[in-house]
């Protein structure tokens, strides 16, 4: 349902569909990032399940969501790693195509001593997912929320958003990694999730230097009435059809921030699918994102509901 009238749930069921990327994350830790032309010594290489789409699906499924994943991997060991991880999290991977002759997407990740990362993605099979795969899929049935990111072809993202919007589902779009997108995609989007840098680029203004009313007005100019802008240690700003609220951050000592935004997105999708308000969903997602920063890797750092409750209780 585009235009933002629905607070969650949706006319098409409480299930979640994620259409997006799956990557094997090749991770090395180093004291600091190398500069251009520089070599630094790192830790042992580890290969972990990742990819923004798969991470979102894993986060929502681990927390108890009814989640389906639509995407593509190669017929290789990395593909097995990714579908296996999603299955163990509880997600349905029948919609993940296994494509012969193409490598599964990979992400080369360096994590520094502060837990920050740099990531270079080789898309591999993610680029073989087509708009026809989306149009022909039966994975949309019973899905009240569709989660999207920009690590697959934009034409595929648009096709998925338009199909879900036509079905009356809530379309949740994470503009990451940031790219200019067609107005048709924003028109089919119910809830936009961006960090402050992405928001500033999209809206043509430094969102930290203007008030929330100005941000809301600029969002409305782009046809967006519901949005969450994450601001790191400043928490998140939630815009919901004329109202705006601030969700405070959950301070943690970060070990590795890889995939924290994807955990936030998965948790947001979960709570919107359960019919919660955008502000309440964002507050829950903030805790999940913070938890994810306390462990190594992306999916490997995501909590079950029981682990999240223990984390909350310990604070």
Q: Which residue is nearest to ligand RIB (CB)?
A: 50
| Residue among 51, 61, 60, 50 nearest 90 (CA) | 61
Catalytic residue check, 138: no
Instruction: Based on the shown chain and the rule CB under 6 A, indicate whether residue 52 belongs to the binding site for ligand RIB.
Output: yes
Q: Rounded to the nearest whole angstrom, what is the least distance from the CB of residue 120 to ligand RIB in the complex?
A: 9
Between CA 4 and CA 2 the distance in angstroms is 6
Question: Which pairing describes strands 117-122 and 143-148: parallel, antiparallel, or unpaired?
Answer: unpaired
- Looking at the chain, how many residues does it have? 315
Based on CB atoms, which residue is closest to ligand RIB, 10 or 259? 259
Catalytic one of 92, 133, 256, 262: 262
| CA–CA–CA angle 191, 197, 202 (5° rounding) | 55
66 binds ligand RIB (CB under 6 A): no
- Nearest distance, CB of residue 54 and ligand RIB, angstroms: 8
Pairwise CA distance, residues 309 & 311, whole Å:
5
Q: Does position 230 bind ligand RIB by CB under 6 A?
A: no
- Name which position in 190, 240, 256, 262 contacts ligand RIB (CB under 6 A): 262
Quote the CA–CA distance of 262 and 53 in Å, as a whole number. Answer: 8
Closest CA relative to residue 254, chosen from 309, 199, 297, 195: 297
Q: Which stretch binds ligand RIB (CB under 6 A): 49-57, 152-160, 180-188, 198-206?
A: 49-57
Q: Which stretch binds ligand RIB (CB under 6 A): 12-20, 50-58, 215-223, 248-256?
A: 50-58
Among 75, 103, 108, 119, contact with ligand RIB (rule: CB under 6 A): 119
From the list 33, 148, 42, 48, the residue with the least C-alpha distance to 106 is 48
Instruction: Find residue 99's DSSP bridge partners.
Output: 74
The verdict on 303 binding ligand RIB (CB under 6 A) reads: no
Provide the binding-site residues for ligand RIB, judged by CB under 6 A. Answer: 21, 23, 25, 50-52, 55, 107, 119, 121, 151, 258-259, 261-262, 298
């Amino acid at each position: 349902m585009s235009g933002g009238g629905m607070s969650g749930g949706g006319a098409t069921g409480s299930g979640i569909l994620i259409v997006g990327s799956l990557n094997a994350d090749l991770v090395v830790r180093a004291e600091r990032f190398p500069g251009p032309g520089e070599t630094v010594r790192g830790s042992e290489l580890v290969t972990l399940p990742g990819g923004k789409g798969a991470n979102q699906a894993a986060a929502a499924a681990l927390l108890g969501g009814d989640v389906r994943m639509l995407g593509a991997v190669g017929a290789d060991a990395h593909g097995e790693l990714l579908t296996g991880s999603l299955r163990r999290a509880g997600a349905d991977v029948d919609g993940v195509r296994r494509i012969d002759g193409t490598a599964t997407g990979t992400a080369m990740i360096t994590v520094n001593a502060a837990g920050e990362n740099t990531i270079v993605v080789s898309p591999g099979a993610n680029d073989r997912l087509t708009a026809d795969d989306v149009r022909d899929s039966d994975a949309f049935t019973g899905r009240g929320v569709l989660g999207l990111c920009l690590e697959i072809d934009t034409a595929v993202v648009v096709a998925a958003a338009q199909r879900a919007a036509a079905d009356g589902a809530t379309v949740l779009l994470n503009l990451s990694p940031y790219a200019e997108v067609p107005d048709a995609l924003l028109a089919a989007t119910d809830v936009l999730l961006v960090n402050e840098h992405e928001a500033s680029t999209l809206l043509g203004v430094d969102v930290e230097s203007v008030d929330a009313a100005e941000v809301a007005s600029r969002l409305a100019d782009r046809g967006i009435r519901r949005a969450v802008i994450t601001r790191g240690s400043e928490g998140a700003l939630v815009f919901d059809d004329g109202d705006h609220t601030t969700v405070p951050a959950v301070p943690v000592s970060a070990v590795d921030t890889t995939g924290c935004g994807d955990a936030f997105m998965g948790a947001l999708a979960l709570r919107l699918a359960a019919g919660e308000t955008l502000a309440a969903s964002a507050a829950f997602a903030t805790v999940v994102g913070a938890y994810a920063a306390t462990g190594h890797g992306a999916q490997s750092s995501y909590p079950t509901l029981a682990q999240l409750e223990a984390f909350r209780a310990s604070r």
